[in-house]
Structure formats: structure tokens, C-alpha cells
Amino acid sequence: MNHIRHPAVCTLFTLAMIGTAFAQHVITDFDHHATFTQYKTYSWQEIKPANSLWDARIKSAVDTQLAAKGWTQVESGGRCCDSRDQDDEDSEKPSDVL
């Protein structure tokens, strides 16, 4: 039977596990009253990741999931619109503009 003979190794391992458990602190910020069913387009914000491989993997996974839900990716900074805006795009009246 192979036992760990050094209590320092057990202590170090335990402290490392406790440290990682408390390091998980996630902060989110979004409008809790937003109705996300009205959105059909999205775009990516420009970022500078430390590892571009992970950036591509994450974007690919998210793109796949959003496409499965019927969302369309638009160019960053592009105009996102719903189907009502697309129909009324050319017939916009000055009174409709804010």
C-alpha cells in the first residue's frame, strides 16, 4: 500500500484546492428586464486575447449555438435590426427618427 509520507505535500495540495475554490469570482452585467427573444443578430467585440487559439475556439462554439437558434452574425459596428426595421428601412419618416 502506497501512502503519502510527507504531510507537507498533503497540506500544500489542500491549500491549492481551497485557493482555486475561492478564486472563482464571476461578475455579470446585463439588463435583467431585457426581452432577448426580440434579438436576431449579434456581433463580436474586438479583443486582444493572450492565446488566439482559445479565442477562435470560443467564437466558433458560440457561433454554432447562436446559428442553431436562428441568430445571424453581422459585422462589428454594423446596424443590428429586427425584421420590422428591415421592412420599414426605406419608408422611414422624419417623425419616426429619434
Instruction: Go through 61-98 and write b for each residue having 16 or more CB atoms within 10 A of its CB, e for each that does not.
Output: eeeeeeeeeeeeeeeeeeeeeeeeeeeeeeeeeeeeee
Give a yes or no: residue 58 inside a domain. yes
> What pLDDT, on a 0 to 100 scale, did the predictor assign at position 37?
85
Give a yes or no: residue 3 inside a domain. no
**31-40 tens-digit pLDDT:** 889 888 888 9
The HSE-up count of residue 57 (CA atoms within 13 Å, CB side) is 5
Give a yes or no: residue 94 inside a domain. no
Give a yes or no: residue 7 inside a domain. no
| pTM exceeds 0.75 for this model | no
Domain interval for residue 47 = 37-77
Q: Which three cell numbers stand for residue 13?
A: 495540495
Q: How many domains does the chain have?
A: 1
Give a yes or no: residue 17 inside a domain. no
